[in-house]
Amino acid sequence: MNPLIIKESKFAAIVDWLSRKLFKQETLGISLLFLIFLRVNKNKDEADDTLTHELIHWEQKKETWIWYPVIYGIDYLIGLIRHKSFVLAKYRVRFEQEADQFENDRSYIASRSCYRWKSYEI
């Protein structure tokens, strides 16, 4: 099963607006269940990086199923306790570390090993 990709999404634009207001952070894409929402009105490379980032999350979700949000939440809480920063806690989530590291590598998903996200430290 492949995710449904929604480009130039109003939902992604709203999430981006909220993210900028609350966390002073840009959010170009968000994935929920089997949907990927992209706020793609930037240059092509940035749009491709965002899509690759979200597709890496898709691979992680296929490995973890319903446990994805649970693991994400636990990682976030551990990161928050360790780093005492809401923004840094998000970047330290193991799913995010893998997606951030390889979002500009278009061949990564094809060669990715299962559960690669487990190799990161929160």
By the criterion CB under 5 A, which residues form the site for Zn ion? Answer: 96, 99
Q: Least CB distance from residue 43 to Zn ion, whole Å?
A: 19
Distance CA 62, CA 60 (A): 5
Encoded tokens for 118: 């487990």
In sequence order, what DSSP letters do the residues of 86-102 get, joined into one string?
HHHHHHHSHHHHHHHHH
CB of 15 to Zn ion, least distance (A): 12
Q: Which is nearer to Zn ion, 49 or 96 (CB)?
A: 96
Residue 104 dihedral angles phi and psi, to the nearest 5°: -100, 15
Residues for the chain: how many in total?
Answer: 122
Nearer to Zn ion, 30 or 44 (CB): 30
User: Please, which residue, 83 or 100, has the CB nearer to Zn ion?
Assistant: 100
Shortest Cβ distance from residue 57 to Zn ion (Å)? 5
